[in-house]
Amino acid sequence: MENEPVQMKVNGSRLFIIQGDITRQTTDAIVNAANSSLMGGGGVDGAIHRAGGPAILEDCKKIVARQGRLPTGQAVITTGGNLPAKHVIHTVGPVWHGGDRGEAELLESAYRESLKIAAESNLASVSFPSISTGAYGYPVEQAAGVAIRAVAAFLRERETSVSEVVFVLFDTGTYDAYSAVLREVASK
């Protein structure tokens, strides 16, 4: 059981999880857990800008010049620069304030808006990190439930170009939390 891939099929698309570094993924796009400034930061955001090079930040600056800061729960797309992925979709997850400030809705929106942009860009495969569960403090067991249900709902509710969604989880604790939720959702 341990080594079986943890995955589910939704409406012909595949949703699965792996443990690893998102900057090495070869999906059409990887998603960045950015902040509203789009100017880079720590965690996965810093890793993506370091690995992808300056072209990503150049695109981000153009977007901010055009539309201002990126609100929480929204998403935009840039080049992937030197990354194996052609595109980076930048989204902003909520900062955890205890759970009664719309955090779940905002986190759900971050996943949904990212997938909408992927579909609008006709992409087939997308990798997500665990948005908001690092510096932003969202409890990972709760975030995993919101994340997997948001992606499954998106795939279920419409026909899209997106046929593969991968959660790329950096550490074992995060992987285990997503694995538990995915097994539960897939068994229903």
Binding of ligand ADP at residue 134 (CB under 6 A)? yes
Of residues 13, 78, 91, 132, which one binds ligand ADP by CB under 6 A? Answer: 132
Per-residue binding string, ligand ADP, 84-123, x by CB under 6 A, is ---------x------------------------------
Catalytic residue among 21, 45, 100, 171: 45
Contact yes or no for 152/181 (Cβ under 8 A): no
Q: How far apart are the first and last CA of the chain?
A: 18
Of residues 113, 174, 175, 182, which one binds ligand ADP by CB under 6 A? Answer: 174
DSSP, collapsed to helix, strand or coil, labels residue 8 as strand
Q: How far is the CB of 35 from ligand ADP (least distance, A)?
A: 7
Asked about 176 being catalytic, the answer comes back as: no
Q: Which of 148, 60, 156 has the alpha carbon at shortest distance from 108?
A: 148
Residues 6+ apart with CB under 8 A from 62: none
Of residues 120 and 171, the one with the C-beta less far from ligand ADP: 171
DSSP 93: P
CA 18, CA 166: separation in Å to the nearest integer? Answer: 7
Of residues 40, 43, 53, 102, which one binds ligand ADP by CB under 6 A? Answer: 43
Of residues 13, 72, 125, 133, which one binds ligand ADP by CB under 6 A? Answer: 133
Q: Which of 185, 100, 101, 102 has the alpha carbon at shortest distance from 151?
A: 185
Instruction: Provide the residue type at 106 as one letter.
Output: L
Of residues 28, 45, 108, 113, which one binds ligand ADP by CB under 6 A? Answer: 45
Cα-based angle 119, 125, 129 (whole degrees, multiple of 5) = 100
Q: How many residues sit in the footprint of ligand ADP (CB under 6 A)?
A: 21
Where along the sequence are the contacts to ligand ADP (CB under 6 A)?
A: 21-23, 33, 43-45, 47, 93, 129-136, 168, 170-171, 174
